[in-house]
Each structure stands twice: as structure tokens, then as C-alpha cells.
Structure 1
């Protein structure tokens, strides 16, 4: 029986072509399904109540009556929490604070060209800031305990993380506001995360103690939060296509649109500048810490030196004369070639540190009295932060004791050499230095003098002069351990 080889009458070429078409259809179906899934997952337009959102934002703008007293009470609570270094109290104050209303009003009014809402937002924003700062100033000026707690100091030096927190917090807040059935937990969370109130309290603290650096740093952080929350509000309102406010007068409508556009640009320019500035400062700080951990920390001392990592000072200074200050303690000094190597590595391997000065503070290169004063100041300035860190306090106290002993041994070498020359006419050179001596139980520091006599003196005469000079030095310096070498 013969088989029918052309039973289906399908050629291999047609079969391959059909397979490709099926693959294309499957791929298109997968892409389409993915788009639908992502649209359903991320689209926020379909569940937005534009009218209710606008009414809610406008209703939160005014500061009068109950809202003003709530703000004053929350500022007092936050100031007490910052003063007591209590994070829980500060969080509680942020939860009851009504600071966010005028900032959302600013962003929304710019997005929809609503000049009346913009005017009310600006007026109430100014009232909010002045009332908050005055309340905080009054508290810190009257309250007797005004310690510089870590909660306060944390609000004086904003960085890139504060920019990102403010922006994404603002996005979350506006999205939550726009949803039908507002998500209250998100609003409370954003109030905590963006932390508008603590910077204003820190401004009042800085003014109360007369420290303008604290006040300006905290005001800068508050400005960052305000700008980026308003910017996030502006972008979301535009994305959700809220209707623009219409004016009967066409000239007025065009004027309002232009004014709103100009203000929006003015808001975005400092926002972008602040972001870039904070990003540069963050990059500088990261590379500075990498440089220290990779190049400085591994350095091995051979005779009792120590790198004081906790006292490192990294100062970006807005890119103007930035510096890194490294503190070393102990008798051993770091060789010049090692410092030169660090300078070269800093410039070649860490591009953001090329124009950065490297300040090396080490005991061996300073006069003992200056070194003693530096450690005293260092100890006093860091004492409050070192409480509870017994090992560091013990080390500083031991270092202070050693330097006091060393400073006590310092002599007025200029006076001593002049007197020695007047008393001993054959003396032509006198050198002085400290030496360490140990009996393997204790280590003593000795004052050692080296002399050079005029040529032509006999050995007996030199021996006699050495005895007289040594006896005079012991009496003059009141130190029986003085050594004399030739």
C-alpha cells in the first residue's frame, strides 16, 4: 500500500512562516498584557477626586484660631523634645503639626494658575514660619537648660538625603491627598519623614543662643523641605491634569499664567541648584571617608602613635577651600614622604578631593605647650559627646597627663643657652633634646644636652668644664636627671 507523501500539502517553508507569525502574536499579546498590568498597577488618574483634593488643600491653608494654637503647642512640644534629645516627643509633635497646608497650597496654585490661592498660601506660609520661629525662640530664651543635643545638631547640616526625603515625601503626600478616600496614615508618615517642624525649632534655638550658623543651617534645611514638597505637589497636579483656573478677562488670564510660570521656574531653579549642591557635598564626603579608611587608617606606627579617627574634621564648605583635618597623637611624627604620598593619592585616586587641603595635626610637630592646649580644648569640646564612652575618655585623660608631664619638662632654651655662653667662654655649641629611658618596668623622659668646646682645650680641662656645666644645669633647671653628652 502506497503512502500519500503530500497528505497535508504543506511545504517546510510555509510551516516555518506560520511558526514565526504565532511567535509574533504571542509576543504582542505578552507586551499588551504587561502594559495593561502596569497601567492598572501605577495609574493614579482613574481613582482621583480632583474637586475634593482641591477643596481639602485649600481648607488646610489658613492659620487662624484653632490652627494657630495647635501650631504653637506643637512647636513647644517639639522644642522640649529637641532640648531633651527625645525622638519620640519630636515625632509626636510632628504628628499634630499643621505645617504642611500652605506648602501644598503653593504647589497646587502654581500648577493650576490660581492666583488667589497662591496669595493666601504665601501669606499663611509667612505667618507659619514667623509664628514657629518666635515660639521656639521664646522657649529656648526662657528655658534654663539649653544643651546642644544631637537631635538639634542633626538639623543644622542638610545633605542629599534630606532633598530626596522631601521630594518623595511630597509625592507620597499629594498622591494620598488625591485618592478618593484620603489615606490618613500616609499623611501622618510624610509629616514625620519630611520633618518641617524640627528645623524651625532649631532656627529659634540658634537665635536664642546667638549662634547664627545653627540658625542658618536649620533654615536652609527647612527651605529644602519646603521647595521640594511644593515641587512634588506641582508635578503631581500637572500629571493628574487638574483643570486650570479660568479668568473672564483674557489679558488677566495670560498675565496670571505668565506669573505662575515664572514663579514655578523660580522654585525649580533653586530646587535644582540645591540638589546639585547637596549631591556634590555628598560625593565629597563619601570620597573623603574612603580616602581616610583606605589610606590613613592602615598606616602603621612603630612607636606609640595613634590616629584619632573620632576627631577627623571633613569640611566641604560649599566647594570653597574644602579641607580634611586629621589628628594624630603620640610621640612619633609622620614622615614628610608619607604625607606627600597621601597628597598624591588624594589627588590621583579621589577626583572630588583634588582641591582639598590636607591638614595634619600631630603631636611631634607642635610645641609641647601648644599640643597640651590643643588636647585640652579637644577634650572639653568633645566631652559631652564622649559620655558613656569610657575607653575614649580614659585615653584622652592619659594623653593629657602625658603631655602635662612633657610640658613641665620644657625649658626656656634661648635663655639657658645665653646664660651658658656668658658663664663658659670656651663653649661654642649647645644642643638640647628629650630622650626616653626604660628599665623595662617604667619609662622616663630625660633632658639631654650636648656640648662642643673650643678646640685646643685639654682632656682634663674639658672634663672639668663638663662637670661644672652639668652641675649648673641641674641647679638652673631644678632637674637632677639632666644628662650631658659631648
Structure 2
């Protein structure tokens, strides 16, 4: 057991503390080359977010020097070096402002303003981002104190992801979306704070000596301040994580409801939109052909509770004009390549179907009861009474060779009117 515990001893392979502190101090400053590298990394990350390229974003995180002042702040707090803490905070502030300005300028000039999935992923931080920042920061703190730095440093830069939130905040400023800006800045603050705290934890664990003497009362005040900041950072992230969990449950329940109540019955859903973040949750659907009566809609709303969809209202869009607009808006929003031409083609197909006679059973009855009419044609056409008035009429046209008498023609026409439950029926003979 003792041998196993020794295997976890952090002092094994530890670099000289003087060398570690010297390296930390040298990585804090944002002047000259460091500032240029930061600005270039921000542009690369912004392009990656703009075109939704994960590989480009990872590359930007690898070349970014943002970790320096954050780690420096952690070491400063652990060793009570307040001069180093001020320098670290000042340089982090400069780096943050430069990053925001560069990303804001890029997105302001970029012709592509649509929020991609990589951008949206940085607007809603939660407790999982806290865990990533803290444990990523622990790895970074351990790696910095080693003689052999190895692979952890690049991995920490990718895992803690400081660049994307800053670029997303710049995007929020460029398009005037405060929700995006505040969410991204909160994520960036979480990352900075918990990387700093995890570095402080490693410094305390390795028992780095204090640079300045601090009395017990001041040390207690510093600890209390850090604790308050921890609570301020953690409480919103727990709430956001809970909201995310509830939203995912809602989405899964909606999917089950649609599958059981519609897809399993052969109804084709062509439009779906859900609203979770509202006082009354909503599900909006539209179908290819099925139209629902008021009683059916009431029954569907009553059954929402069976799927744990309480405080949820089901709306089925059956207005074709408004629905068409919403479908086109949703298609554009999801970046799917469906054009107005496709909608027009579908509408033409629907109009053509109105003129096509598809009752095969009736055609079989005609050929059985009136075999002398074959060959014949049957279909629907517009009959115009005047320029402002017309109606659809079913026309059965018989070849003139059949020589049907007037009585047979009248009997066939009367029979068709009864079968079709319409007076708009005509039987005519085509002269050859």
C-alpha cells in the first residue's frame, strides 16, 4: 500500500522550483512576439468558428499563449507573491481586450454572420465546463513543474479551450447579440478562474515557499475571497447544467411522442419546432397530407402527459400559406439546400392531382356494368361559366364508334352522379 502511494508522489521528476518560477514569470508578459502570436491565433480561431472547422480551432488553441498569465496568477496566489499576481492580472486583461477587439473586427468584416454549431457550443456553459477547466488546469500545473514537460501542455491548451469563448464573445459583439456575448464571456471566465484555482492547488500540494509573509488574518481573508468567487462561478454553472439536462429530457420525450403518435401510424412530419425555454413549452408540427380535427387535437394534447410532457402545448400547423413560409425559414436556418423551386414543384404536383381521376375501383365497375362504352377516357377539367366563375367537372368521353343510344348515355350519366355524389358529371360522345 505504501509503495502504491509513493507511485503518486508528485515530487518525483519535479523541476527545480527556481526554474519553474522563472519559466512562469517569462510566460506572463504580452509584449512584442507574444502579442502578435495571440492576435494571429485569435484570427485563426475566428475563421475556424466561422467556417465550423474543428481542426482549425484546435490549431488556434495550440498556438495561443493565453495560458501564461492564468498559470502565473495561480502561482502568485499559492506563494503570496502579490506583485506577480498584479502583473499576471494586468497581462491577462490586456490579452483579453486584444482578443476581443481582433475577433470583433474579424466578425464585423466577415460576410458570413450565421452562427455555426461550433459557435453555439460556446454560448451555454455549465458544470461540465468547470470540471474540464479544473482537471485540465491540474494537468497543466503538474506538467509545468516537471523536468520533462512531454505531451500534457498541448493537450491542456486544447481541453481548456480559452480561445473559442473569446472569439464567440467577439462574434456576439459584432452581431449585437448580448446573450451570445455574456454566455461566452462567462465560459471564458470559468476557464480562467478554475485553471488558476487548480494551479494554486498544485502549488500548495508541492509546498512551494511563500514569497511574502502573510499574517493569519490576511490569509483567512484571501481564502474567504477565493471561496466566495468559487460559489459565484459554480452556482450558475450548476443551474445551466440542470437546464441542459431538462432540455435533453424534453427533446427525448418529444421524439418518443412523435414516433408513437404519428410516425408509427404512417403520418409524415414535414415540419417540427420545439420551444423549451418558455413559460409554456410548445411543440409545433405539420404533416404532408394528414389534417386533424379539433377533437383529435384535444386528444393529442391530453396524451402529452403520458410522455412526461407536462406544461406543454401541441400546435399542428394546417394553414398552407403560413406553413410554407415557416418551412422555408426553417430550411434556411438549418442550412439545407432546398430552394423555392422545390416548393413550387410540389405545389404544381398537388394541383395536377386535383385533375387526375384515380378511382380504379369505379373504372372497373364502369367496364363491368357498361362493357359497350370501352374504350373511354375519364378525368376532371375546369368548366368556365364566365371570366370570374368556374368549377371542376368529371368528364367521361366515349368513342363515337360505340353507337350508344340516348337512353344508355343518360343512364350511365345518372349512375356516375350517384357514385361520385356530385351533379358535376357529364358523359359525352367523341365524333370521329
What is the correspondence of 1:201-280 to structure 2 with a 5 Å cutoff? 201-247=167-213, 253-254=215-216, 256-280=218-242
For CA contacts below 8 A with separation 6 or more, give which structure has more relative contact order.
2
Q: 1:269: Cα distance to partner? A: 0.9
What is the correspondence of 1:22-171 to structure 2 with a 5 Å cutoff? 32=1, 35-37=2-4, 39-49=5-15, 50-171=17-138
- Going from structure 1 to structure 2, the CA distance change for 1:484 and 1:214 (only over 3 Å counts) comes to farther
C-alpha distance in structure 1 between counterparts of 2:165 and 2:305, whole Å: 38
Q: 1:68: Cα distance to partner? A: 1.1
User: Unaligned regions of 5+ residues in structure 2, if any?
Assistant: 361-383, 394-420, 424-432
2:29·2:69 contact (CA, 8 Å) conserved in 1?
yes
Alpha carbon RMSD of aligned pairs, Å? 3.7
More displaced stretch, 186-195 vs 143-152 = 143-152
1:328 corresponding residue in structure 2: 286
1:455 corresponding residue in structure 2: none
C-alpha distance in structure 2 between counterparts of 1:292 and 1:70, whole Å: 47
1:474·1:481 contact (CA, 8 Å) conserved in 2?
no
2:51·2:116 contact (CA, 8 Å) conserved in 1?
yes
| TM-score normalised over the length of structure 2 | 0.73
Q: 1:102: Cα distance to partner? A: 1.6
C-alpha distance in structure 2 between counterparts of 1:225 and 1:322, whole Å: 34
1:313 corresponding residue in structure 2: 274
SS at match of 1:375: helix
1:113·1:256 contact (CA, 8 Å) conserved in 2?
no
Q: 1:134: Cα distance to partner? A: 0.3
| TM-score normalised over the length of structure 1 | 0.66
- Going from structure 1 to structure 2, the CA distance change for 1:221 and 1:359 (only over 3 Å counts) comes to farther
Q: 1:199: Cα distance to partner? A: 1.5
- Going from structure 1 to structure 2, the CA distance change for 1:146 and 1:113 (only over 3 Å counts) comes to same
- Going from structure 1 to structure 2, the CA distance change for 1:282 and 1:111 (only over 3 Å counts) comes to farther
Q: 1:124: Cα distance to partner? A: 1.4
2:257 corresponding residue in structure 1: 295
C-alpha distance in structure 1 between counterparts of 2:97 and 2:273, whole Å: 37
- Going from structure 1 to structure 2, the CA distance change for 1:215 and 1:36 (only over 3 Å counts) comes to same
Number of aligned residue pairs:
369
Match for residue 322 of structure 2 among 370, 383, 387: 370
C-alpha distance in structure 2 between counterparts of 1:399 and 1:301, whole Å: 26
C-alpha distance in structure 2 between counterparts of 1:401 and 1:178, whole Å: 67
User: Unaligned regions of 5+ residues in structure 1, if any?
Assistant: 1-31, 348-353, 388-392, 407-435, 443-472
- Going from structure 1 to structure 2, the CA distance change for 1:404 and 1:170 (only over 3 Å counts) comes to farther
C-alpha distance in structure 1 between counterparts of 2:97 and 2:280, whole Å: 34
C-alpha distance in structure 2 between counterparts of 1:478 and 1:220, whole Å: 65
Match for residue 186 of structure 1 among 152, 176, 201: 152
1:312·1:325 contact (CA, 8 Å) conserved in 2?
yes
